[in-house]
Amino acid sequence: MLIKNLKTHTTTAPLFIAAIALSMFTYSCKTNTTAETTNKEKTVFQTSREWRPTIDNRGDAAIIYGVGGNPSDKSKRIQFEDRVKSWQDRGYGTHFMTGIAWGEYQDYFTGQWDGKWHLDEGQVQQNGDTIWHGRMVPYIVPSKNYLKYIKEMHVKRVIDAGIDAIYMEEPEFWARAGYSDAFKKEWQEYYGFPWRPQHESPENTWLSSKLKYQLYYRALEDVFTYAKEYGKSKGMNIRCYVPTHSLVNYSQWQIVSPEASLASMPCVDGYIAQVWTGTSREPNFYNGNYRERVFETAFLEYGSMQSMTAPTGRKMFFLTDPIEDWPRDWEDYRKNYQATFTAQLLYPDIDNYEIMPWPERVYEGLYNVSAGSKEKARIPRKYATQMHVMVNALNDMSLSNNKVSGSQGISVLMGNSLMFQRFPTHEGYDDPQLSNFYGQALPFLKRGVPVSIAHIENLSYSGTLKDTRILLMTYSNMKPLEPKAHEHLADWIKKGGIVVYSGRDNDPFQTVREWWNQEGNQYLTASAHLFEKLGLESAPAEGAYKIGKGTLYVLRKDPKEYVLNKEGDRELIEVVKNLYEQTAKAGTLTFKNSLYLQRGNYELISVLDESIDPTPYRIEGLFIDLYDPSLPVITQKEVQPNHQSMLYNINKVSNKKKPQVLATAARVYDEKIEKNTYSFLAKSPIESTNVMRIFLPKQPEECKFMDANQNEAVNSTWEWHEASKTLFVSFENNPDGVRVEIDF
């Protein structure tokens, strides 16, 4: 995730494509990821800088960014190999990340690499402006020559340096781009006929988007194939990952990327789900109101990423960021960090995390001390402490079979072509802020129903709809890229599945030349093919249809109408509730204003506003409040609407005779338990304060805190809490470690 301004980085300065069916492609690359190489990397972070004591956050692996660094990092850069070594010397695993759509590639753009000027390969919009990511860093049309450069000058170098995990991040082609000579050349080569301006027709837009999609699919397949083959020649197993925004976000921000198709590419070992405050605070509509809904958007973003890879078994890291790209105040960052952090933890089948991008920005950046203030400062001590507690909880976070509270089994169907219809608009048809997607998801999520996402590209996998009782779908904002999707859907319905199809089917993209109206097919809409598979006429009227053991319910409204209008979702809610309870016989479709998950010893709570009522969520027990930097022990917690909570349940400690750290703002190493002594080494960045809650079988007699030079740790204190049998300790963090010795 590179620092960027998504609204203002434009300055002055193109054979008909068949449906993308991955089963038709053959690749020479294969994954050979092993548990040994992946499980040790539970927590990672990306940095363009060398190790420094202020940014030593103690994740498992440092992803070193860029052979030449980060385009947004204007400081003097240290050689890549030296940066790698500086982290290795501190005990970190080291990986490599760089942008596939942009980066510090000035030697390519200015002709130093091959003697030719390549700035003309930037993505260009209709007015002739290049879309820039930074100075002399354009978003690029990934030509074969550019990919040759990436492989020779970047991938080869990092593998030669011993790196065995490579991340090619953000394969992004802006929907508003597609007017450069470089794109026109790719168009002619791919389609076999001259380029057509995308703004002139829906079909041209569709063709343009599909080519953008294919270009970055080709780019990643090419680069990752090379990486694996070159690594193999050196006796190395190279793992290849794609850090990418969610399909929800790319569709909303009008960016085209391969997304779900990559999950089946043999060269791809996994993803980083780049979800953070900056993506999740993008406003959307609900109940006629346009505003930010950070938690809800993050929940859906993580859900779209989780469901993208769940059927394939690929590794997924969830990312959160304690700040964001836009300059705001520290309290704003903290509040939204809690929202996105809680959202990610509500997916208990994911337990790998990118704990932060750019620690140099988090720890050393200067931001407003409060809303409206012009005074800037580094991260407040209390926020840094809270952040470290949260990050270290991720090191302890385990998988869980528990489900988020609420009625299960309602899923929303989405697909890659969501990105194809976003820009420009045609014939007056608009989908404000992706409302045709949110119109299906938010009415249920806001009522405390943990809706799931299903990807149309994954319907061939038997597990994709395994837990779905009712599938919500529309073709008002996307189209199926291959007819086989309808075969899978029809089969699922006939065996007992229930689909609620919302759509007027009158958007201009229904008429683009595609498989449903080509090569012998003459369907006027994409859905007509599905309806025929179900034994219905091409445009069935609104109502319920019995299909084998299943049901199709047609609503002749576009889903955007459910959220653009006040109380516009009443009919949808009524129909789904009746189908859920009477047809699916899945139990009562329960509405509430909260989501709750018990995950190991952790209690996770999010209370929704704009819901059925404003009642706070109350929980009683014996807890450590992990979102409070003082780590208080509490017996009850009340969570208000639009707030979240993360609690450690002390009563769930399994071995009450074993001393153990329950919550900590430093990472614990070298634990030793002797007869009456418990000791360990605690490490975390300098200029931050550590707090801990330590469970002990009885009250301690003495506590010692010594730094690496055998000096007493700065500001060290301890306090016993008898009711919880926990010891609270605090001292100033030290990346070299503070030795804690407790005698009891």
- Among the four given CATH numbers 3.30.70.980, 3.40.250.10, 3.40.50.300, 3.40.50.880, the one describing domain 410-583: 3.40.50.880
The CATH topology of domain 28-102+145-173+216-281+290-396 is TIM Barrel (3.20.20)
pLDDT at 442 over 50: yes
Across residues 233-259, what is the average pLDDT? 97
74 confidence band (pLDDT: 50, 70, 90): low
Residue 583 DSSP one-character state: I
Residue 311 confidence (pLDDT): 86
pLDDT at 227 over 60: yes
Strand ordering across the sheet containing 410-414? 452-455, 410-414, 470-473, 498-502, 550-555, 543-547
**Across all residues in the chain, what is the average pLDDT?**
93
Distance (Å, rounded) from C-alpha 212 to C-alpha 258?
9
20 confidence band (pLDDT: 50, 70, 90): very low
H helix runs in 346-415, sequence order: 359-364, 381-396
Residue 378, SS3 per DSSP: coil
- Lowest-confidence range among 63-77, 483-497, 719-733? 63-77
Render pLDDT for 286-309 as a digit per residue (tens, 0 to 9): 999 999 999 999 999 999 999 998
How far apart, in Å, are the Cα atoms of 342 and each of 221, 352, 601?
34, 14, 15
- Token pair listed for 64: 């070193």
pLDDT at 505 over 50: yes
Residue 539 confidence (pLDDT): 97
- Lowest-confidence range among 144-158, 163-177, 249-263? 249-263
Q: Which residue has the higher pLDDT, 313 or 321?
A: 321
DSSP 164-216: -EEEEE---EETTB--SHHHHHHHHHHHSS----GGG-HHHHHHHHHHHHHHH
76 confidence band (pLDDT: 50, 70, 90): low
Residue 82 confidence (pLDDT): 94
Residue 541 confidence (pLDDT): 97
0.85 cut: is pTM over it?
yes
Residue 444 confidence (pLDDT): 98
Residue with tokens 């005779």, as numbered in its chain: 657
Taking a C-beta distance cutoff of 8 angstroms, is the pair 19, 481 a contact?
Answer: yes
Residue 345, SS3 per DSSP: helix
Residue with tokens 């209709």, as numbered in its chain: 126
15 confidence band (pLDDT: 50, 70, 90): very low
pLDDT at 30 over 90: no
Contacts of 618 (CB under 8 A, 6+ apart): 636, 637, 638, 639
Residue 72 confidence (pLDDT): 67
- Lowest-confidence range among 68-82, 96-110, 271-285, 348-362? 68-82
Across residues 73-82, what is the average pLDDT? 75
Residue 110 confidence (pLDDT): 93
Across residues 624-636, what is the average pLDDT? 98
Q: Which residue has the higher pLDDT, 7 or 266?
A: 266
Q: Kind and range of the H or E element at 493?
A: helix 484-494
Across residues 409-433, what is the average pLDDT? 96
H helix runs in 613-669, sequence order: none
Across residues 556-585, what is the average pLDDT? 98
Residue 151 confidence (pLDDT): 98
Taking a C-beta distance cutoff of 8 angstroms, is the pair 169, 99 a contact?
Answer: yes
- Token pair listed for 330: 């520290």
Residue 548 confidence (pLDDT): 97
Across residues 209-222, what is the average pLDDT? 97
264 confidence band (pLDDT: 50, 70, 90): confident
pLDDT at 24 over 60: no
9 confidence band (pLDDT: 50, 70, 90): very low
Residue 735 confidence (pLDDT): 97
Residue with tokens 């960052």, as numbered in its chain: 333
- Lowest-confidence range among 3-12, 177-186, 600-609? 3-12
pLDDT at 693 over 50: yes
The percent of residues in the chain predicted with pLDDT above 90, rounded, is 89
Across residues 202-219, what is the average pLDDT? 97
pLDDT at 27 over 50: no
pLDDT at 484 over 90: yes
Residue 519 confidence (pLDDT): 87
Residue 73 confidence (pLDDT): 66
Question: Cis link prior to 171 (omega < 30° from 0)?
Answer: no
The percent of residues in the chain predicted with pLDDT above 70, rounded, is 94
